[in-house]
Structure 1
Amino acid sequence: MSRFRSTFAAVMLAGITGFSLVGCTVQQEAKPLPEVEAPEAVESEAPPAAFVVDGSAEDNLPFFRETLAQFAGGAEPVQGEWLVNTLANAGFDKAAMQVSFDQSQTGLVADSLFVSVRIDASCLIGQVVTSDRSVTIELMPTVGPNEDLCLIGHTRPIDW
C-alpha cells in the first residue's frame, strides 16, 4: 500500500507542479504596428482584343476567346449555326471552320458544342457548354491524315 501512496503522491506532485507552471509565461506589452497607407488602386483597362487580318492562330487567340465569351454571355441559343455566324461576323473565315452537331444521334440536345477555326497548321478550338454557357478555348495543331482538320470525328456541314 505504501508503494501505491508513493506513486500517487509523486503523480499528484507532478500534476500540481505542471499545472502551476502552465500559466507561467513572460508577457510583453504589445507594440502597435506602424501605419502603412495602402496604394491606390489603378485601373488599367487593357484594350479590347482585335482580329488580326493575316495573323496566326496565336495572334488571333485573344480575339477568338473574347468573341466566344461575348457569345456565351448573350442570349442566342447555343447552336452550331449561331457559333459559326458569330465567328464569321467577327472576321474569321467560315470556310476554315468546323462545328459539332447540335443534337446527339438519339435526338438529345448536345451537352456542349465545339467550334474550330483552322489558320495555317494551327486550330483555334472553342467549347461552349449548353447548360451553363461556360467556354473553354484551346490552341492546338491541326490533325488528320492531311493535317488539315481541327475537330476529329463527324462534324456538321457548314452549308448556310
Structure 2
Amino acid sequence: MLRTAPSLARTARAFVGAGAILVLLVGCTAAAGEHPTPPSFLSPSPADTATASPALQPEGTAEDNLPYFRAIAEGVWASEQRAEGRAYIDALVAAGFDRTAMQVTPDQTTVGNPVESLQFSVRWGEESCLVGQVGPSTGQVVAVVMPQLAEGRCLVGTTRPIDW
C-alpha cells in the first residue's frame, strides 16, 4: 500500500497530536503539590538524614538550637497559620521548648489590622534568646540569637500573654 504525501502529513499530525495529549496526561497525573520521588542515588542515606535534621539540644547553647528553632518556625510559616503568633508558640512547645520562657507579639495592630511583623522568642539560659520574626515585612522566617534584655526578657515592647 502506497501512501500519498497528504496522507503521510495527516498521519504525522495525528502522531504529534497524540504525543502532546500523552504529555499533558502524564503531567496532570500528580496531584498539586506532589513531587516525584528522586532516584535513590539523589536521596540522602539514613545516616545523612540523621545528621541533617536539627533537633532540640536541651544541654546545648542557643546557637546549637537555632537550626531547630528556625526549622519549627519555617514549618509554621509554610502553613495557613503563618500570621498567628499562637501557632508559632504551640509548635515550639510541641517541639520541646519551654512555654514559660516564651514571648510573642500581638497578631494585630491596635486598630485591628494584621501586623507587618510578628515576633516570638524563647529565653535560653541566663544570657541568650532565640528570636524569630515573620510577616509581610520580612517575607520569610528570620531567626537569630540575641542577648537577653533586662529582667530576662527577649522582646522589646508590648507582648501578649501566653495563657492558653
Kindly name which structure, 1 or 2, has the bigger radius of gyration based on alpha carbons.
Answer: 1
1:7-156 correspondence to structure 2 within 5 Å: 47-120=52-125, 121-130=127-136, 134-144=140-150, 146=151, 148-156=152-160
Q: Which residue in 2 is equivalent to 1:159?
A: 163
In structure 2, distance between residues paired with 1:128 and 1:118: 18
Given residue 146 of structure 2, which amino acid in structure 1 is its aligned partner? M
Secondary structure at the aligned position of 2:155 is classed as coil
In structure 1, distance between residues paired with 2:57 and 2:77: 22
Give unmatched runs, 5+ long, in structure 1: 1-40
Secondary structure at the aligned position of 2:52 is classed as coil
Given residue 143 of structure 1, which amino acid in structure 2 is its aligned partner? L
Secondary structure at the aligned position of 1:62 is classed as helix
TM-score normalised to the size of structure 1?
A: 0.67
TM-score normalised to the size of structure 2?
A: 0.65
Secondary structure at the aligned position of 1:125 is classed as strand
CA RMSD of aligned residues (A): 2.1
Give unmatched runs, 5+ long, in structure 2: 1-40
Given residue 157 of structure 2, which amino acid in structure 1 is its aligned partner? G
Asked if structure 2 preserves the Cα contact closer than 8 Å seen for 1:78 and 1:130, the reply is no
In structure 1, distance between residues paired with 2:153 and 2:98: 14
In structure 1, distance between residues paired with 2:129 and 2:110: 26
Given residue 152 of structure 1, which amino acid in structure 2 is its aligned partner? V
**Which 4+ residue blocks in structure 1 deviate beyond 4 angstroms?**
41-46, 130-133
Given residue 123 of structure 1, which amino acid in structure 2 is its aligned partner? C
Q: For residue 130 of structure 1, report the CA deviation from its aligned partner.
A: 4.5
Q: Aligned pair in 2 of structure 1 residues 74, 131: CA closer, same or farther (>3 Å)?
A: farther
In structure 2, distance between residues paired with 1:117 and 1:110: 20
Say which structure is richer in helix.
2
Q: Aligned pair in 2 of structure 1 residues 119, 74: CA closer, same or farther (>3 Å)?
A: same
Q: For residue 77 of structure 1, report the CA deviation from its aligned partner.
A: 4.2
